Amino acid sequence: MPGTVYLVGSGPGDPELLTVKAKRLLDESDVVLHDKLPGPAILEEIPESKREDVGKRAGGERTSQSEINERMVELAEDGNDVVRLKGGDPFVFGRGGEEMQYLAAHGVPFEVVPGVTSAVAAPAAADIPVTHRDHASSVSFVTGHEDPTKPESAVDWEALADTGGTIVVLMGVGRLPDYTRELRDAGVDPETPVALVEKGTRPGQRVATGTLDTIVDVRDEAGIEPPAVTVVGGVAGLWEDVEAGR
């Protein structure tokens, strides 16, 4: 009998934001395949004997997606119940969709277990609501880390600018200068508030705020590093008043 592969979201990093189901599957599974994104607090709770880090190979190189896919199938075919643990929600920029397709194509039983995505939770943990009746009636989730082999940007920043809603950029620390420029070029007010939330819900969470014009300098001065989300829009400007009133 083959085992089942559970594609499980681990949430933004606070172990109390794991779902009850994720916690149960972590306890009951035979093997947990993970990378670094779930964060130390969650990973340290998993017995070493069943953890397999597929984020990095010896030598610091990344394990390729095809190796991860093959490993999931191999373990399940050997009868193991496998948790493929992914930061946040498995289907938000986590390649969970591709992994599901691979499992389905190989006839491996699988189940998707949603998680609390950092796209919403990291801003929320920093007192930033991604929607607000007076400031944003839509929110877009965007990758800031585009495939460098793609000939042109797959993200239509101009169209995003036109929505007038909140824009949350994941994997967007490094390319902050590029997309803030694209948004300004698309006519977004340079005074639009922008917040960077680093290590949302984790020890050492930090928030740095500025505007579309200043946020690159703010990032550099604060030394903001991944994992962090960028929040662009009026909702990112409520923060200081709220903190002052706390």
Active site residues: 35, 56, 171
Is 140 one of the binding residues for ligand SAH (CB under 6 A)?
no
Question: Residue holding tokens 């989730």?
Answer: 141
> Rounded distance, CA 98 to CA 106, Å?
12
Tabulate helix, strand, coil % of the chain (nearest 5): 35, 20, 45
> Rounded distance, CA 207 to CA 71, Å?
38
Is 89 one of the binding residues for ligand SAH (CB under 6 A)?
yes
- The conformation of residue 32, written as its DSSP 8-state character, comes to E
Stretch that binds ligand SAH, among 66-74, 154-162, 176-184, 220-228 (CB under 6 A): 220-228
- The conformation of residue 194, written as its DSSP 8-state character, comes to E
Is 117 one of the binding residues for ligand SAH (CB under 6 A)?
yes
Per CB under 6 A, the list member of 229, 231, 232, 235 interacting with ligand SAH is 229
User: What is the closest distance, in whole angstroms, from the C-beta atom of residue 144 to ligand SAH in the complex?
Assistant: 8
Element holding 28 (H helix, E strand): helix 20-28
Is 114 one of the binding residues for ligand SAH (CB under 6 A)?
no
Is 170 one of the binding residues for ligand SAH (CB under 6 A)?
yes
CA neighbor of 198 nearest in space, from 240, 176, 234, 230 = 230
Is 10 one of the binding residues for ligand SAH (CB under 6 A)?
no
User: What is the closest distance, in whole angstroms, from the C-beta atom of residue 16 to ligand SAH in the complex?
Assistant: 13
Question: Within 23-52, which residues bind ligand SAH (CB under 6 A)?
Answer: 37
**What tokens does 217 get?**
């300098």
Binding site for ligand SAH (CB under 6 A): 12-13, 37, 86-89, 92-94, 117-119, 122, 170-171, 197, 199-202, 226-229
